[in-house]
A and B are shown apart, each in its own frame.
Chain A
Amino acid sequence: MMNYATEPPPPSPAPEVPTVPAVHADDLTVVRGPRTVLHHLRFTVPRGRITGLLGPSGCGKSTLMRAIAGTQANVTGTLDVLGRPAGHPTLRSRVGYVTQAPSVYDDLTVRQNLHYFAAILDPGRAAAERRHQHVTQAIADVDLTRHADALAGNLSGGQRGRVSLAVALLGTPELLVLDEPTVGLDPVLRRDLWALFHDLAATRGTTLLVSSHVMDEAERCHRLLLMREGAVLADDTPEALRTRTGTDTVESAFLRLVDEAAASRTKENTR
């Protein structure tokens, strides 16, 4: 996986873009316990692109991703994923979801983990050969071939995270929802993973929704959703954001937008 081409987002359009967007939300609200975590969100995630979901921790990124993956309760409003309501049974094999904490079996080897999840996605004795190929490919994709027979529990945090990612790659899902996949990784691995994400989008047409609270990763995305306190601050390309706010980096753009939002709120309150 080390020899993917350049890192910044290639401007090339996605191979073929089906008409339905990957994710479409309208008036999406999520309540967790006494707290409303997401307030009337409205946004669209295009197909075949990498969309970055950025914002400070606690702003509702993970809740939004859980809602898209269909594991979040108390979701109201419209949330369509690949043309179906989020959580629809047919989406279970079409959407890959990686939680922030690696969710793999620590007492199984990397290969055993992947073989089990592959058997769930593509069951039956007849599919054994295909499963074996998919497992080998997924392990290679996340650069864990050398550790394939190590127990997941004996791996480092970053390595376990990649096992979790490899599980989501099985079955070539159309939409990958990745919650902070690069946390705790060294710069080389981070670059390699982003190269993998771009490769998935370019060659397999996969749509990726990647969350991060590190703003420098924003520059690697085709589109950005900036979130703060359960609301979408901006939904645009990195270039457009920088131009619109007259800033050099997405980080400054984000800060400018936060300030503007705060200013308009004070204006409203004093009026």
Chain B
Amino acid sequence: MSTTTPAAPAPSALNASRTTATAARVLRQLRHDPRTIALMILIPCLMLILLRYVFDASPRTFDTIGASLLGVFPLITMFLVTSIATLRERTSGTLERLLALPLGKADIIAGYALAFGALAVVQSALATGLAVWVLGLDVTGSAWLLLLVALLDALLGTALGLFVSAFAASEFQAVQFMPAVIFPQLLLCGLFTPRSDMHPVLEALSDVLPMSYAVDGMNEVLHHGDLTATFVRDVAIVAGCAVLVLGLGAATLRRRTA
């Protein structure tokens, strides 16, 4: 028995070992669920193939919509997976247990972001590769930049999912947050019609929604061979939003509950 107290853990600082242990644990859980992994990876690819032949007669339309969707898919998938996964963690009591251990809130959030980020890399790489090299998506810029935006979108999806899971009491509610949080952004992001053509109120609204910048960034890569200032701004906004929402998500983790 130890009467000596171990060194006091710094609860707020990020601990690399605990973060990677958490990320590894999340991935290990997923490995026991191969069907979910297959769905996450394959569905975006299948959608792109579908889209390619829907716009069989107009490859230019496929270029625009396909590029935008490369940014939207990771956001939606990661949003769904993260919100359900963290909701489960909350309802199973494991979150309470973790928070009663010397584990920082930042470690949990970063662990989840790392695990789903890794999955997003695989998903986005496959989808981008398929779109550019197989389906003939015509990008002027580098495919790597598409991948970068896709990855940031996935991170944003993870962040939003973590955040909204705090407001869902059941899986039913969590799934309903997807139309509530994602669909308005999908309608307003400029995918269906340029944002400048919208009603001024909606255009203003779309200016503050992060997905608008995700889609805008994809279109910048599509049309420009070099790094434009707009692209840099878009990437910075999406990354900034992801970090901000991750911070909000951390604030919803409470060590003491009523």
Are B8's CB and A120's CB within 8 A?
no
Least distance between A153 CB and chain B CB atoms (Å): 9
Given the complex, which residues of A lie within 8 Å of B1, measured CB to CB?
A: 15-16, 172, 174, 204-206
Chain A, residues 88-103, CB within 8 Å of chain B (1/0): the string is: 0110111101010111
The listed residue (A105, A120, A167, A174) touching B29 by CB distance below 8 A is: A105
Does any Cβ of B come within 8 Å of A271's Cβ?
Answer: no
Docked-complex contact A123 and B97, CB < 8 angstroms = no
B88-105 interface (Cβ within 8 A of A)? 92-94, 96-103
Find out whether the CB atom of B18 lies under 8 angstroms from the CB atom of A71. Answer: no
Please tell me if B223 contacts chain A, counting CB pairs below 8 Å. no
Is A112 part of the binding interface, using a Cβ–Cβ cutoff of 8 Å? Answer: yes
Known A89-B11, A93-B101, A123-B18; contact A105-B25, beta-carbon cutoff 8 A: yes
Task: Check A187 for interface membership: any CB of B closer than 8 A.
Answer: no
CB-CB under 8 A for A120 and B101, given A71-B255, A89-B11, A108-B25: yes
**A74-B258, A99-B97 are contacts. A18–B3 as well, Cβ < 8 Å?**
yes
Q: How far apart sit A112 and B32, CA to CA, in the bound complex (Å)? A: 11
- Interface: A87 (CB within 8 A): yes
User: What residues on B are CB-neighbors of A18 within 8 Å?
Assistant: 3
The answer to whether residues A70 and B256 also contact, given A93-B6, A120-B103, A204-B1 and a CB cut-off of 8 A, is yes
What is the distance, in angstroms, from B89's C-beta to the closest C-beta of chain A?
Answer: 9
B18 touches A119 (CB 8 A): yes
B179: A residues at CB distance < 8 A: none
Chain A residue contacts of B97, Cβ below 8 A: 97, 99, 103, 117, 167
Q: Is B21 part of the binding interface, using a Cβ–Cβ cutoff of 8 Å?
A: yes
- Asked whether any CB of chain B lies closer than 8 Å to the CB of A33, the reply is yes
Q: Is B176 an interface residue (CB 8 A)?
A: no
How far does the alpha carbon of A178 sit from the alpha carbon of B54 in the complex, in Å?
60
Given A89-B11, A90-B8, A107-B32, decide whether A71 and B94 contact each other with a Cβ distance below 8 A: no
- Interface contact A92-B94, CB-CB below 8 Å: no
Residue B224 at the A interface, CB < 8 A? no
A202 to B29, CA, bound (A): 37
B residues less than 8 Å from A72 (CB atoms): 256-258
A121 interface contact, C-beta 8 A: yes
Q: Which of B70-102 contact A (CB under 8 A)?
A: 92-94, 96-102
Residues of A within 8 A of B9 (CB): 89-90, 92-93
Q: Which of B3, B15, B92, B97 has the most CB of A within 10 A?
A: B97
Considering only CB atoms, which chain A residue lies closest to B18 in the complex?
A123
Cross-chain contact A87 with B255 (CB below 8 angstroms): yes
Q: A89's contact among B3, B21, B102, by CB below 8 Å, is which?
A: B102
In the assembly, what is the distance between CA of A228 and CA of B182, in Å? 49
Are B102 and A92 within 8 A (Cβ)?
Answer: yes
- CA–CA, A33 to B93, complex, Å? 20
- Report the separation of the CA atoms of residues A102 and B97 in the bound assembly, to the nearest whole angstrom: 10
The residues of A that contact B5 with a CB separation of less than 8 Å are 90, 94
List residues of chain A with CB within 8 A of the CB of B18.
Answer: 119-120, 123
**Cβ-neighbour of B92 out of A92, A94, A105, A120 (below 8 A):** A105
Q: With a CB–CB cut-off of 8 A, which chain B residues contact A32?
A: 258
Residue A116 interfacial (CB < 8 Å): yes
Q: Across the two chains, which residue of chain B brings its CB closest to A30?
A: B258
Q: Which residues from chain A contact B11 at a C-beta distance below 8 Å?
A: 89, 92
Known: A103-B92, A105-B29, A108-B29. A119 touches B100 (CB 8 A): no
Among A75, A87, A103, A174, the residue within 8 A (CB) of B94 is: A103
The answer to whether the Cβ of B33 comes within 8 Å of any Cβ in the partner chain is yes
* Closest Cβ–Cβ distance, residue A82 to chain B (whole Å): 9
- A69 within 8 Å of B by Cβ? yes
A124 at the interface (CB under 8 A from B): yes
Jot down 10 A-B pairs with beta carbons below 8 A, ordered by A: A18-B3, A69-B100, A71-B256, A71-B257, A75-B256, A92-B11, A120-B101, A121-B101, A151-B32, A174-B2
Residues of A within 8 A of B (CB): 15-16, 18, 32-33, 69-75, 87, 89-90, 92-95, 97, 99, 101-108, 112, 116-117, 119-121, 123-125, 151, 167, 172, 174, 204-206
